[in-house]
DNA sequence: TAGAATAGAGAACCAGTAGAGAACAAATCA
DNA sequence: TGATTTGTTCTCTACTGGTTCTCTATTCTA
């Protein structure tokens, strides 16, 4: 995700002044600080930063603009941790987080193959017991057997977690939610990025 | 859980003055200190802090506003991991396995409190996304808040995993399966053994 | 040089936040 | 026991702050 000049400028300002705010700044406060007259203009830039995973999304709430936590590299990571890459929401690209975090995942889930962890957003697999906010452990693979749950890249742009069925003619992706229908794609529109190996959920 | 401005302001005040109170402050005292005229308004903020796990819930008691003691940063204590104790099946005692195995559970799930892992047998919590064969991470505790999912020992003999509701008269255990009914017990028949903190599932 | 990408102004919308105050019930105190 | 605190719940009001528009200006690029 490439930022424009103004976007990086604004992000810089946020980072530089992060410790300087006693509370998360509102759009109006930022507008004044940045010499903007219109919240609407600022909003577009902030949205770009949210999309780039640099600013926390605030779904309608009024709590000011916050940077996404840039946790310093966890040193335990070398110790057989599994990288946490971001959020997977049906219908959108993976929202990568800037610096990979590492999770201590039991070897029983990962096996010996390379894996990564994604956070699930949405309810499309709810009937398989995969809920909004769960973390899935994905084994890096570019092929899958029928019936496996896969991370699939569709048309090179959006990514989704679904149960896969491959026929000679097409690839069918089955959600596990009565409200959603299976969708069929031509083979060349679906690129498998990994296979579901494990699941983590926090009730904290 | 993201706090609003006023909520963080009030939380700050509580933290800053924690050592300053000789006993927990009342709502009225706090209202005055914070320049509020209405207890009702303050109550909403405090509830938000309780919900965020920053303030201890005070079920009815007076003079009850206390901060949740902040666990010090997790010390990578999980050298050995979390003990795997056996299988929990609704209606039977925990089937302990002879030699405790240890699982490498991410610190995000355990927090700093002592935990153990059980394997779930049965479908009684299927609508909460807890499936037969899943592993649950349980924090060792002998009390729980309403709405939490607990490991409960019933009549000193059988153990079960259910959502708990404690009323003055009785304890109600709610399964999450349309085919099963909630069951009410007298308080002395239910002994809480732990609270659900996390969940692991293997698709191997 | 036309069209796209970037940047901004400003208006309008409305959900979230904040607070007041009344009424109630449980806990505590006299 | 009765009176008083104290926490809880409710309704009502106000306004702030994030979002969405449309419209315009400027810069970049094919």
With beta carbons under 8 A apart, name residues in chain B contacting A104: 78, 104-107
**Mean pLDDT (10-residue bins), chain B, 204 residues:** 86 83 84 92 93 83 76 47 82 65 80 85 89 91 84 85 84 88 87 90 86
Q: What tokens were used for A183?
A: 């969708």
Q: H/E element holding A41?
A: helix A39-51
Which of B41, B121, B124, B143 is catalytic? The answer is B124
User: Residue A125 in 3-state DSSP?
Assistant: coil
Strand C close to A4 by CB, under 7 A: yes
Q: Three-class SS of residue A199?
A: strand
Q: Is the CB of B53 under 7 A from strand C?
A: no
Chain B nearest CA to A197, separation (Å): 5
Interfacial A residues in 109-148 facing B (CB < 8 Å): 109, 111, 126, 129-131, 134, 148
Return the SS3 of A61. Answer: coil
- Rounded to a whole number of angstroms, the distance from the CA of A175 to the nearest CA of chain B is 15
Which of these, A98, A163, A110, A160, lies nearest to A137 by C-alpha position?
A110
Give the gyration radius of chain A's Cα atoms. Answer: 20
CB-contacted nucleotides of strand C (7 Å): 5-12, 15-23, 26-28
Q: Please give the Cα distance from A121 to A112 (Å, whole number).
A: 27
B124 flagged as catalytic: yes
The SS3 call for residue A99 is: strand
Q: What is the pLDDT of residues A148-169, one digit of tens each?
A: 999 988 887 778 899 999 988 8
Which pLDDT belongs to residue A155? Answer: 80
Return the number of other C-beta atoms located less than 10 Å from residue B100's C-beta. 14
Strands A158-166 and A171-174: antiparallel
Q: Which nucleotide is nearest to A45 (CA to C1')?
A: C7
B101 inside 8 A of chain A by CB? no
Give the C-alpha separation, A137 to A150, whole Å.
Answer: 11
A11 touches strand C (CB under 7 A): no
Distance from CA of A39 to the nearest CA of B (A): 19
User: Smallest CA–C1' separation from B3: which nucleotide?
Assistant: C17
- Measured distance CA(A50)–CA(A55) in Å, rounded: 5
Q: pLDDT tens digits, chain A, 204 residues: what are they?
A: 578 888 988 998 888 888 778 788 999 999 998 889 999 999 999 999 998 888 988 878 888 898 886 544 444 333 557 888 878 876 555 666 655 677 778 877 887 788 888 888 888 898 899 998 899 999 888 888 888 999 988 887 778 899 999 988 899 999 998 888 899 999 888 889 899 999 999 886
Cα dihedral B21, B22, B27, B32 in deg (nearest 10):
-60
- Residue A139 and residue A194: Cα distance in Å, rounded? 5
Any strand C atom closer than 7 Å to B36 CB: yes
Place of tokens 């995700």: A1
3-state secondary structure A150-190: EEEEECCCEEEEEEEEECCCCEEEECCCCCCCCEEECHHHE
Distance B146 CA to D11 C1' (A): 27
Comparing alpha-carbon positions, the chain B residue that sits nearest to A23 is: B5
Q: How far is it, in rounded angstroms, from Cα B137 to Cα B114?
A: 10
- Among B65, B73, B57, B71, residue whose Cα is nearest residue B29: B65
Q: Could you identify the residue whose CA is nearest to the C1' atom of nucleotide C7?
A: A41
Answer whether any strand C atom is within 7 A of the Cβ of A37: yes
Distance in angstroms (rounded) separating the CA atoms of residues B117 and B166: 25
Burial (0-12, 13-18, 19+ Cβ within 10 Å), A33: middle
Residue B3, strand partner residues: none
pLDDT in tens, A109-145: 887 788 888 888 888 898 899 998 899 999 888 888 8
Residue nearest to nucleotide C9 (CA to C1'): A38
CB of B110 closer than 8 Å to CB of B137: yes
Q: Which of the nucleotides lies closest to A35 (Cα–C1')?
A: C8
**And the tokens for B12?**
């700050």
Whether any strand C atom is under 7 angstroms from the Cβ of B44: the reply reads: yes
Chain A environment of B202 (Cβ under 8 Å): 108-109, 197-198
pLDDT of residue B79: 54
- Closest CB to A62 among B4, B8, B202: B4
């Amino acid at each position: 995700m490439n930022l424009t000049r103004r976007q990086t400028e604004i992000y810089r300002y946020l980072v530089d002044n992060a410790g300087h705010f006693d509370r998360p700044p509102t759009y109006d406060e930022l507008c004044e600080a940045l010499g903007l007259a219109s919240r609407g203009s600022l909003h577009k830039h902030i949205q770009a930063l949210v999309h780039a995973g640099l600013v926390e999304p605030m779904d309608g709430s009024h709590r000011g603009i916050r940077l996404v936590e840039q946790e310093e590299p966890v040193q335990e990571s070398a110790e057989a941790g599994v990288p946490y890459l971001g959020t997977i929401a049906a219908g959108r690209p993976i929202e990568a987080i800037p610096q990979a975090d590492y999770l201590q995942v039991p070897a029983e889930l990962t096996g010996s193959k390379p894996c990564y962890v994604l956070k699930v957003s949405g309810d499309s697999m709810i009937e398989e017991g995969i809920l909004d906010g769960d973390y899935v452990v994905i084994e890096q693979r570019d092929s899958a057997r029928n019936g496996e749950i896969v991370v699939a890249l569709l048309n090179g742009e959006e990514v989704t977690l679904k149960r896969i069925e491959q026929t000679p003619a097409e690839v069918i992706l089955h959600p596990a939610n009565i409200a959603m229908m299976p969708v069929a794609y031509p083979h060349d529109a679906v690129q498998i990025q990994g296979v579901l190996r494990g699941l983590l959920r926090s009730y904290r």
